Amino acid sequence: MKNNGWARRDLAALWHPCTQMKDHEQFPPVPIKHAQGVWLEDYDGKRYLDAISSWWVNLFGHCNPRINAALREQLDQLEHVLLAGFTHEPAILLSERLIRLAPAGLARCFYADSGSAAVEIALKMSYHYWRNLGKSQKTKFITLTNSYHGETLGALAAGNVALYKETYAPLLMEVISVPSPDCFCREGGESWADYSRRMFTCMEQALEKHAGEACAVIVEPLVQCAGGMRMYDPVYLTLLREACSRHGVHLIADEIAVGFGRTGKMFACEHAAVTPDFLCLGKGLTGGYLPLSAVLTTDEIYQAFYGDYTTRKAFLHSHSYTGNPLACRAALATLDIFEQDKTLEHNQLLARAMRDAAVQFQDHPHVAEVRQTGMILAIEMIKDKAARTPYPWQERRGLPVYRHALEHGVLLRPLGDVIYFMPPYVITPEEINYMAETAYTGIDLATQD
């Protein structure tokens, strides 16, 4: 069957995520038959460069031979077993390895099956820790504007992107919202570090005012991804770590999107040499193969839950597929590749190639900013560059870029007016150039009035 046939059957049976299904009357979904490396291939034989790592999950290309081999081996050993009362080699090895890799002081791994679930766990654990210590007045979370932590109700409440949150507001817990250090909003001539430091005063004030009732501050370290790839300086994390400790409030680092090398280091917190109280991981954890997430925390927090059953201190949260052996094995194979291929070093070359390929965008009359942190590069379209007037959101300027790129064999998925690249680490400099050229002509097209 060709694309048409699959698309027709799809539209009769599926309801797709993050989609106004009516849009598919004009643009049917693209059925993918096969993928290899950075390339996806549909049923008509057309190929698409996956410039966004299939929602930021893929690290070492699709159908990676090394991850495939590890999974085949695991399939013949053990596909799944519950993780309560039982355990298995892949989960043990992965926990040991993540603890070794993560910022010093994180000593325990708790597994789940999606990023949102990891965020729920970190929020619940933080609250429950304070309750176990007799501080049950601590029930609130501090969060940054423009942040995104997932779509389940707790994670949605912790996030702050109106597009996802507004509709469900009556269902959500209240949070304390602090203006983001988003450096797109800095004054002309102000450095990222200066702006991030200046914006930290809002966080300091919030902590001073709310420390008594706050369990934790939750942030996406360095890049607010779903919020339009808005970026800030590591100094913010340094100040935040110090202030959280001083005020007796946990720090939750949601590295679900930015972990595993996206920012140039294994974990974004390393840029500021800080250890959060909770580190949430997901997406790239399995190289983009299988749903798995993890929350790493300290021994001190773990100990607050440890006691006789009748004390009712235990953390009773669970998901059926928690710590699935296949997913853990894919994660181990992914970490092997990081080691064997010296990926973080190699990525410096790729990040430079991305930067060079994006220089051309700076002078475009409808590009407000080109920004980059490691392997994440974003280009922000704007209506009026001088006056910094955005396009009305109803105009959906990102859509023609998406359509144009697909036609030319590149999968971009703009966030509003922000076009970004977050490719798998097996992309070549030539493919980076092609991706950038295609984005450029797409932006040209989308901004012609």
User: Which residues are near ligand PLP by CB under 6 A?
Assistant: 114-116, 119, 148-150, 220, 225-226, 254, 256-257, 282
Question: Judging by DSSP bridges, how do beta strands 39-42 and 106-112 pair with one another?
Answer: unpaired
Nearer to ligand PLP, 269 or 446 (CB): 269
Nearer to ligand PLP, 43 or 55 (CB): 55
- Cα separation, 373 vs 31, in Å, equals 32
Nearer to ligand PLP, 234 or 391 (CB): 234
Nearer to ligand PLP, 125 or 304 (CB): 125
Least separation, in Å, of the C-beta of 388 and ligand PLP? 26
Least separation, in Å, of the C-beta of 201 and ligand PLP? 24
Nearer to ligand PLP, 53 or 95 (CB): 53
Determine how many CB atoms are found less than 10 A away from the CB of residue 425. Answer: 24
- Cα separation, 352 vs 355, in Å, equals 5
Least separation, in Å, of the C-beta of 242 and ligand PLP? 23
Asked whether the beta carbons of 74 and 326 are under 8 A apart, the reply is yes
Asked whether the beta carbons of 248 and 260 are under 8 A apart, the reply is no
Least separation, in Å, of the C-beta of 271 and ligand PLP? 16
Q: What is the DSSP string of 168-234?
A: GGGGS---EEE----GGGSPTT--HHHHHHHHHHHHHHHHHHHTTTEEEEEE-SSEETTTTSEE--T
> Which stretches within 248-324 are classed as H helix?
299-303
Rounded-to-10 torsion of CA 18, 220, 291, 327: 160
Nearer to ligand PLP, 116 or 196 (CB): 116
CA torsion sign for 153, 156, 158, 164 is negative
Least separation, in Å, of the C-beta of 159 and ligand PLP? 8
Residue whose C-beta lies closest to ligand PLP: 115
> Which stretches within 362-416 are classed as H helix?
398-407
Least separation, in Å, of the C-beta of 47 and ligand PLP? 25
Nearer to ligand PLP, 147 or 438 (CB): 147
| Amino acid at the residue 289 | Y
Least separation, in Å, of the C-beta of 262 and ligand PLP? 10
